[in-house]
Amino acid sequence: MKKNKMYEDIGFAKIDHHRHQRKGFPEVIYCEGKTPDQIVGIARRIWDHGHNVLATRADRKAFRAVKKILRQAKYYETARIIAVKKKAESGTQKAEHRIAIVTAGTADLPVAEEAAVTAEFLGESVDRIYDVGVAGIHRLMKNLDRIKKAPVVIVVAGMEGALASVVGGLIDKPIIAVPTSVGYGASFKGLAALLTMLNSCAPGVAVVNIDNGFGAGSLASIINRNR
């Protein structure tokens, strides 16, 4: 096992213990493609260096393995996230700094919850406003005042992904748009929603990758902390 000031080499992974100093939060484990033993090995080293542990795209098998060595571990089923906290991250818990997470439909919840749990792990407060898509736009209008109160808004939508443009045309806050792979054949597993969001005519809309709830949640936290 090799160590230096920047990272720790454990053979199958080089763990970036310095990331907390650079970014304000520790390295996050992306579990897909990793074995439970590899996930445990990385989680143990992050924890032993005094950092909180967040593991995304984790299944129950990975959670059971982590739980054996870190009894405090919690599993968020919808988000597919394992989280273990020993200290609070430096987020903004004030109610007026709450991040709004808006979804077009219930099928978008796994990605939205990945964003929400990530933001909460990073110390943010979250307001979940789910199933307010353009097919029933009166639902969005009914919740518009809640959305306007947030300093940053995450909009999660599949199908044609129009919700981000609609919200972007109604509020003056930065919007992080997350296309999801929800939709029928011509949605091309989220590509249609991605292209719609990238081509939004509403100013102030930025886009992360398809199904990237973690990216949206972490970016929203960074924006919030640097206000």
| The pLDDT value given to residue 91 | 54
The verdict on 32 and 140 lying in the same domain is no
Residue that is last in its domain, among 84, 113, 140: 84
Count the neighbouring beta carbons within 10 Å of the beta carbon of residue 132. Answer: 25
Q: Does residue 89 lie within any of the structural domains?
A: no
The range of the structural domain enclosing residue 17 comes to 2-84
Q: Are residues 213 and 110 in the same domain?
A: yes
Assess whether 101 and 210 both reside in one domain: yes
Would residue 100 count as lying in a domain?
A: yes
Name the one residue in this structure whose structure tokens are 């929800």: 182
Over the chain (227 residues), what is each successive 10-residue block's mean pLDDT? Answer: 68 87 88 95 92 95 95 95 80 70 96 97 94 94 94 96 95 96 94 96 96 96 87
Whether 38 and 113 map to the same domain: the answer is no
114 lies in the same domain as 192: yes
Provide CB contacts within 8 A for 14, sequence distance 6+: 7, 8
Bridge partners (DSSP) listed for residue 176: 154, 206
136 and 27 in a common domain: no
Q: CATH number of the domain that 173 lies in?
A: 3.40.50.1970
- Is 41 part of a structural domain of the chain? yes
Number of folded domains that form the chain: 2
In terms of domains, do 65 and 140 share one? no
Residue 51 is encoded by which pair of tokens? 């950092």
Contact present, 77 and 109 (Cβ < 8 Å): no
Q: How many CB atoms lie within 10 A of CB 214?
A: 25
Q: By CB neighbour count within 10 A (0-12 exposed, 13-18 middle, 19+ buried), where does 185 fall?
A: exposed
In a domain, 23, yes or no: yes
Angle at 41 between CA 38 and CA 44, to 5 degrees: 145
**Domain shared by 100 and 145, yes or no:** yes
90 inside domain:
no
Decide if 188 is inside a domain: yes
For residues 105 and 177, membership in a common domain is answered with yes
Q: Pairing relation of β-strands 153-157 and 99-103?
A: parallel
Q: Are residues 200 and 139 both part of a single domain?
A: yes
Q: Are residues 32 and 119 in the same domain?
A: no
Q: Whose CA is closest to 192, among 207, 204, 210?
A: 210
- Based on the domain organization, do 214 and 109 belong to the same domain? yes
